[in-house]
Structure 1
């Protein structure tokens, strides 16, 4: 996926895997597809347009980071893309499946069986063992719990000997490794990561990001990560920059320094626009 450098995305323009507009519905080979996605909170003069017409197509087997200034719509983008929130307008497809009109029960089943999640707060259940936490999506989906599969993914994240431990017995980095294993256990269409290294030190963060990178390169996983950290974003194949609820820029395989420079420039433009009366408005999701 490429956005033309220096050109803001227009509503109704859908960049395809080759960077050209006009990708057809349910394009083969795409893991994530958003068309005209808008999210508005409130009505009238006080309405907040957290997403202002997002069009996006991400191929399978790619690692995409999403960055932007505070209030740019990063979290709202992830929530809508992952079926955790419903857009006010537009459509979302995951693995070729249209999810926009699904019922809550259908969305819950899809998230359990076809999506993986890694959050900053780990979101592990303290009363369960590491293995039980990893197998929780399988259990909640009513499927047979495959202990061999759990052992396999725990070995991949370097925790083969921790299956019987509980989260409280592990370090923060180890707990996040468990979360990565849980995200991998169902071989999901997409792994959504929301600030996955926000609670980790630099060295441990690199280990976790290396696991996500390995999942993409070796297992063919698709990762979409929201982050504020240029060093974390540098692990991705591409970085998309959000501003005022729309994609304003992108960078392919950028270094942490180049990503930080783009963010600084984008933040400066956003503040200048806000000073002139433009912007998403107070209360937009970060």
Structure 2
């Protein structure tokens, strides 16, 4: 399988001396194309730091991160910003939609920021994929929480990124809506060839292709999901 993201001996520490916090410790991981990966573990295990370093939002203290063969951990900030806009998608618990923009404008925002031509038809096709036909000109405040998260997913995938990260994407949703959102992420992988990483959400393990379990900043388990659902639940206990 093609490797999209590589983390080699990645460590991330905060503070100095006796108060140093070791959020990640010599972590190695390979994330493959066209897969859905769940990153699980108890609170404080390093999940958020894993996502931030893997997505180029934070720099590791040591080790390397490579996206599609390019080392991003040593990139200058301007180059890294361009790469994130075009090749990495993000979905967060808080949706992060701009309330003054329409749904269509929110979806097209990554293209606008990257200097690409805004294509309303492209946005409408993406909105249709997430079940929001006819809502292109609505404002985020007119949508339910689940619908707003669907817009966030459409925005994350509009650039056809190498990889999309979803950080606790269902944390503010009810169980039924959360299942629909996770189904959309699964569909993005199985039908459209996306590569998606989901953190903080143990329920995604039931649909994932891989489950990475972290503990005290280390990768302690890398399993196929069908037999790992119980392990994922236990990791949060």
TM-score range normalised by the length of the shorter chain: over 0.9
Cα shift at 1:250: 3.0
Give yes or no for contact 1:65–1:225 (8 Å, CA) kept in 2. yes
Match of 1:162 among 135, 153, 160: 135
Give yes or no for contact 2:213–2:232 (8 Å, CA) kept in 1. no
What does residue range 1-286 of structure 1 map to in structure 2 within 5 Å? 29-227=2-200, 229-254=201-226, 258-263=230-235
Give yes or no for contact 2:211–2:228 (8 Å, CA) kept in 1. no
Task: Please report the RMSD computed on the Cα atoms of aligned residues, expressed in angstroms.
Answer: 1.4
CA distance in 2, matches of 1:198, 1:253: 21
Return the TM-score normalized by structure 2. Answer: 0.96
Deviations 1:210-269 (A, max 9, x none): 111011011111001102x432322211111100100112331236852455426xx5xx
Give yes or no for contact 2:92–2:168 (8 Å, CA) kept in 1. yes
Give yes or no for contact 1:230–1:259 (8 Å, CA) kept in 2. no
Secondary structure at the aligned position of 1:219 is classed as: coil
Give yes or no for contact 2:205–2:211 (8 Å, CA) kept in 1. yes
Residues 115-124 or 89-98, more deviating: 89-98
Give yes or no for contact 1:69–1:263 (8 Å, CA) kept in 2. yes
Give yes or no for contact 1:231–1:256 (8 Å, CA) kept in 2. no
Determine which structure has the larger strand proportion and give its number.
2
Secondary structure at the aligned position of 1:208 is classed as: helix
CA distance in 2, matches of 1:66, 1:98: 22
Unaligned runs of 5+ in 1: 1-16, 18-28, 268-286
Residues 1:65 and 1:261: Cα distance change in structure 2 (over 3 Å)? closer
Q: Counterpart in 2 of 1:274?
A: none
CA distance in 2, matches of 1:89, 1:251: 26
Return the TM-score normalized by structure 1. Answer: 0.80
User: Number of paired residues?
Assistant: 237
CA distance in 2, matches of 1:230, 1:254: 13
Give yes or no for contact 2:46–2:215 (8 Å, CA) kept in 1. yes
Q: Highest Rg: 1 or 2?
A: 1
Give yes or no for contact 1:49–1:245 (8 Å, CA) kept in 2. yes
Residues 1:94 and 1:114: Cα distance change in structure 2 (over 3 Å)? same
Secondary structure at the aligned position of 1:254 is classed as: helix
Secondary structure at the aligned position of 1:213 is classed as: helix
